[in-house]
């Protein structure tokens, strides 16, 4: 399996893809990605565009 650091890095990479997808579609977007030692998973914040 992957280490916690590797998992966190994969989450960061996935968030970059999400930024491009949502912002490209005209939305405002922010991702709180998982970090080692935290509970739960990533939280995605999608808001209407400007």
- Note whether 4 and 31 are within 8 A (CB): no
Task: Output the pTM of the full model.
Answer: 0.78
Residue 33's Cβ-count burial label (10 Å; 0-12, 13-18, 19+) is buried
**Strands (DSSP E) found in the chain:** 28-32, 43-47
In angstroms, the Cα distances linking 19 to 2, 31, 42, 48 are: 24, 8, 13, 14
Question: Is 43 a residue whose pLDDT tops 90?
Answer: yes
- Reported confidence tier of residue 47, pLDDT bands at 50, 70, 90: very high
For 21-34, the pLDDT digits (tens) are 999 999 999 999 99
DSSP designation for 40: S
Question: Is 46 a residue whose pLDDT tops 90?
Answer: yes
């Amino acid at each position: 399996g992957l280490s916690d650091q590797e998992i966190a890095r994969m989450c960061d990479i996935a968030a970059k893809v999400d930024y491009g997808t949502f912002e490209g579609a005209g939305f405002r977007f922010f991702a709180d990605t998982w970090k080692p030692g935290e509970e739960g998973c990533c939280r995605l914040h999608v808001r209407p565009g400007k």
